Every structure is written in C-alpha cells, then in structure tokens.
Chain A
Amino acid sequence: MKRKTLSYLLRVDPVRCDGFGHCAELAPELITLDEWGYPILSGETFARSHVELVQSARLAVRGCPRAALSLQSLSSSESN
C-alpha cells in the first residue's frame, strides 16, 4: 500500500462552529479569529511534509468541541 496524501486543507463547518475560538489556541499558525470570535482559516493547502502544521491541524480538529473542523487530504492531482 502506498500513501497518496500529499497535502492537506483545513475546513470549518460554520453551522456547527460555536465561535468560542478554542481552535485558534490549538493551531495559531493556521487559524485566526474574527472580531466576533469565529475562526478564519487561511484556505491554503499545506504539504504533508510540513509536519508541525499537520500536527497543529490535527490538534485543532481533535480539540474542537463541536467537531466543526475537518482535515481534508488531497492527492497530487487535487492540490493546486
């Protein structure tokens, strides 16, 4: 078996998100908060080789109390 994931994209489901902003503490490199406390994601994909970013993204996904965050795996053809 060969792992195909080359990069990741962090997404937030705005309907689930409660805006308490826990994620911005867990992954400050990827998430900032707007003036009302809701997360702003960079919307940029990051490479699997960028280990710290992947780590923080996973922390945020796991730490989100509303399960609003998801880490989408992109294969080479999808990442742009």
Chain B
Amino acid sequence: MTTKFRVLDGAHDTPADLAQHEAHFGPIRGLHLEPAELKASGLTGRGGAGVATALKVDFLRQQKRAVGYVVVNAMEGEPAAHKDRTLISKNPHLILDGAMVLANMLGADDVVVCVAREHTSAVATMKAAIAERGRRRLQGPAFELMTPPGRYVAGEESALVHWLDDGEALPQYRSTRPSVLRIGRRGVLVDNAETHANVALIARHGSDWFRSVGTSRQPGTLITTVSGHGRTTVVEVPYGTPIRDVLHAASVPFDPVAVLLGGYGGTWLAGHHLDRGCDNESLQGVGANIGAGVIVAVAPQGCGVAETARIVEYMARESARQCGPCAFGLPALAADLELLRRGHDGASALARLEERCGTIEGRGACRHPDGVIRLIRSALRTFADDVVRHAGGQPCPHAATSAVVRIPHRSHPETLEWA
C-alpha cells in the first residue's frame, strides 16, 4: 500500500523546529485561508465527531459576539489513541500554523493549546515550539500552552472550555446544540490538533489538492493508532483505505476476529468486515464509525465479551459523576457485563443490559454514557454467538484471560482530580 503522509510528513525524527518546518512545508508568513476555501476542502474534524470544520466556523461567524479564542485540543484522553502526541513529536508547528490561520479567519486574538499534563514529552515540545514562535515575533494571535488534567472526559470540548474558563474539567450541560462555548464572555472554537494541522496544509496547497486523496465525504488523510498486536503503531492513511490495509501497514501479524474502531466509546467491527474503508460512509452500513482513528485488533484468542466488560468498567470509573444516569448507570452496566463475561447468571444480566442501555441513553450532560452504550450494543451484535454462550453459562475459554485492550491503571482512585 502506498501510504501518503501529509501531516506526519518530513524526514526529521525529532520535532521539526521552525527552520526545518518552513523548509519542508513552506513559509508561515502570508498564510491565509478564506472561509469559502475551507468549506470547499470538505475538511472534517479529526477528534472523533467528524463534523465539518467549516460548519463550526460558520456557526461562530454568524454569532453577534466575536470569537475570542481558538483552542487546540491535543488532550488525547482516549487510552488507545496516540496520534496527537505523535503529530506533536513530528510537526508541532503545523498544528500552530493551522490554529493561527483559523484565529485570523475568526478575528480571535488568542490561541490556547491544550495538552494533558500527564503527557510530559508533548507538553515540553509544545512549550518549546510556542517559545520559538514568540522569539520570531510573528504577526497574528498570541499562543498560550495550557495543561489540564488528563482524565477521559477532560478532553470533551465543553469540559475543556469549562476548565479554561473556571478551572474544572467537567462537561457542561447544553440545552441546545450547536451552542457557543465561552471563556468569560468570548466565544471559543475548539478543534482537534490534527484538524488544525490539516487547515495549515489547506492554506498552503488549496482545497483541490486537499481533496485529491480520501473520500468525497471525508477528504484527506486520517492518523490512525493501531494496537492489539503488542505494540502501538501510528499510521497516516487516506480516508477510505480498507481497514485490512491499515492493519497490514501497521504490521499486525494475525487475522483479527474483530477490531475496536473509534475509541473506547466506539464500535466493534467483525473480522469479516475488514475490507470496509476507514471512513464513516463505508462503515455506516455496519453501524460503525472511525471516530478519532483508533483501531484495536483482537486476535483469535481474545474474547469480545471480556474486552467489552473491561472497557466499560474503565469508562464507568471515568464518569465525571455529575449526572445520575451516568454515575449510577455505567457501574450497573459494567457489573452486568462482568456477570456475562463469567457466565454467572448471564441470561438475566443480558436482559438487564439491553433494558438499561435504553433507559440511560441520551440522559447525560455529555455523550460519555452514549459512547458506552454504543460500544455495548455493537458488542452484543458483533459477538452475538459468544454472547449466547456466555448467557447460557458457557463462556469462551479465553474469557478469564483476554486482555487485548489496554486499560490505564487506577491513577485517581477516590480523589478525582478535575482541577
């Protein structure tokens, strides 16, 4: 497969400094992008939701009050993702170029780059890159680095803005969407780091160039993080590349029984669907979504029911515990999945799972519980045969040992850190 690197391009092994960056990608001075050109590019967000970037920009441009901040979301709270950190370790200035272009487009004075404080190497790289730009006295917005706590939901955009505005990394209830997030009284545009990097390339090469790879609905490339084969491999591929080819590019040595797509609030895809492209249109028919490019391959000796139980237990722990249906519902779902995994009273656990998925869905302030429910439903579909055996008290032989998906340690046991 010919992998066409774009945002991860460059011969350097260490983060490109300004000189290397400009030598490779071209000068920063004069970088500019018209809203119409952004729209023509068809750029979609790389953080998971996949919303057209131009749609968000236009929505903010229609507001009466001007936008004050452009936020680069490089929090990467998704445990199976490593693409934002990889991008930072390669081309930090490409991200900053894109943020500068969007800030100029919206008339925002400030760019705030958010990297989880636990990701120390990415923090150091971003700090150095921002300082370097400061010394160059480039025209345009002021850059600032912020390091919120790296919990799962802290990277959710309303939680991120809440933390910037008021020091608490908790999602905010929004009665209508889309809604304008604010710091103080000023509106905020939040985009994923990879999205910003693509904006920088569109500003340099135009929308036709941008659309020359990828699919018509999701043009350009996607940085995927492939794991499950004892390693974490980051590969940039055009949207629409068959999942099988992405696994091949990442040197996954086995034929997976299934892959987890999108993230821990994502979806399972059965092994016989791996010829589908890694774009949302190709995956729609099988109820899956590529999200932020996470792909976890499950080898034949893995158990999908056990993996789902492990993920949901983690996601329940990561609830911000602000909303009843999430704070009580997710642990209940996790407990039933654990019963199903062990095949103890699995049939009634399964019945409760299906029922509770229905009552919990859509009732949190953020989409955290909805992601968990999406994952559970796709597990019950994808591993339907296994689920029947588990429910009948005959779990698969690997159910007790399956440990494909990486679950972070309990780093914040009781004292939840949100500040």
Contact = CB atoms under 8 A, between A and B. Distances in A.
B10 interface: no
Contacts of A40: 359, 363
B359 A15 contact: no
Contact of B325 (A11, A14, A16, A72): A14
B322 interface: yes
Interface in A4-49: 11, 13-17, 19, 34-38, 40, 43
B142 interface: no
Interface of B: 170, 172-173, 175, 322-326, 328-329, 359-360, 362-365
A56 interface: no
Interface of A: 11, 13-17, 19, 34-38, 40, 43, 70, 72
Contacts of A72: 175
Contact of B323 (A14, A35, A70): A14
27 contacts: A11-B175, A14-B322, A14-B323, A14-B324, A14-B325, A14-B363, A14-B364, A14-B365, A15-B172, A15-B322, A15-B323, A15-B365, A19-B324, A34-B325, A34-B329, A34-B359, A34-B360, A36-B324, A36-B325, A36-B329, A37-B324, A38-B324, A38-B325, A38-B328, A38-B363, A43-B362, A72-B175
Nearest to B359: A34
Nearest to A9: B175
B359 to A, nearest CB: 5
A36 B365 CA distance: 17
Contacts of A11: 175
A18 to B, nearest CB: 8
A46 B187 CA distance: 33
Given A36-B329, A38-B363, A13 B173 contact: yes
Given A13-B175, A14-B363, 8 more contacts: A13-B365, A15-B173, A15-B322, A19-B324, A34-B359, A38-B324, A38-B363, A43-B362
Nearest to B356: A35
Contacts of B173: 13-16
3 shortest A-B CB distances, which residue pairs? A14-B323, A38-B324, A36-B328
B324, B328, B364: which has the most chain A beta carbons within 10 Å? B324
B348 to A, nearest CB: 15
Nearest to B326: A14
